[in-house]
Amino acid sequence: MSKQKDDGKGKQVISRYATSGIPKHLLPSSPPVVKKNGKLQAAYYEEELLRLQTELVKLQYWVAQEGLRVVILFEGRSGAGKGGVIKRIMERTSNTAVRVAALPKPNDREKTQWWFQKYVAHLPAAGEIVLFDRSWYNRGLVEPVMGFCTDEQYKEFLRSCPQFERMLVRSGIILLKYWFSVSDEEQESRFQARVDTPYKRWKLSPMDLEDRRRWVEYSKAKDRMFEHTDIKQAPWYVVNSDDKKRARLNTITHILSQIPYEDITPPHIELPPREENVGYIRPPMNEQTFVPNFY
């Protein structure tokens, strides 16, 4: 586990600089190479990302063999970089072993259900890893800030969520929770990039604009959410995400460090020879419709 320190109020908080307890092979293979602005250079980042993605594939094999059930929650403000981390985790893993649960807002029927009910349906079976791109914590953050739930529903969530998560952990599920922390200035910069770049504008929704407008309200809701749900059995891990590349590498490294695994990658495979072409005649090429060679 990551090293912890006291915040002066008796509460244990995760030190983002602590590396004790992290297996040596997961630590950077060489000192970080940075640009003038202090952010990671692209070539260094890509090299480290590929190394960590290779470890994710090893983890995937281990989870499948051991029948582990893993749930990873990704929460944070709009534009904090949650989706970018999820994309890099999924990039080289199998989408049957590692899958994303990004659920839409509840429909009329779901609004009448127990709050956690629709999320339970997406929990993993043996050998699976599920990445929640936002999760049941919508009730602890977005809904109270936007007025989508009653005060009583909000208070009930704060009471019941720790019990729900303890139940998951007791059942054998490995539960990891990450909060992506982005500064006011960096969020504004990312939102402006979405405005200025046509192919990014789909990322900017009316809810994102409300997220920014109600910055202080979200901060208060986040602090209260942490106060009630940062529990020993399922602590919150905060990711400094102003540098997206660093955030991706740090998060993947931390995930790998929290689930002990062994390298059981299958050995090198010899491809069998192709069968001989006996009696097969391919149909004429002009009888098939091909996609034009645009490039």
Is residue 87 a contact partner of residue 100, using CB atoms and an 8 Å limit? no
Residue 241: what are its φ and ψ, rounded to 5°? -115, 20
Domains, in order of start, for the chain: 69-243 (3.40.50.300)
Please name which of 161, 129, 104 lies closest in space to residue 258, comparing C-alpha atoms: 129
Strands 174-181 and 69-76, sheet pairing: parallel
pLDDT given for residue 10 in this prediction: 38
Identify the three-state secondary structure at position 277: coil
206-213 and 184-196 helices, crossing angle to 10° = 150
**3-class DSSP state of 238:** strand
What's the predicted TM-score (pTM) here?
0.89
Q: Kindly compute the dihedral angle of the four CA atoms of residues 239, 244, 249, 251, in this order, to the nearest 10 degrees.
A: 30
From first to last of its 295 residues, the chain has per-residue pLDDT tens of 333 344 444 333 333 445 667 899 999 999 999 999 988 999 999 999 999 999 999 999 999 999 999 999 999 999 999 999 999 999 999 999 999 999 999 999 999 999 999 999 999 999 999 999 999 999 999 999 999 999 999 999 999 999 999 999 999 999 999 999 999 999 999 999 999 999 999 988 888 888 889 999 999 999 999 999 999 999 999 999 999 999 999 999 999 999 999 999 999 999 999 888 888 888 999 999 999 999 9
Residue 98: strand pairing partners: 129
Q: Return the H-helix or E-strand segment holding 153.
A: helix 151-170
Distance CA 271, CA 106 (A): 48
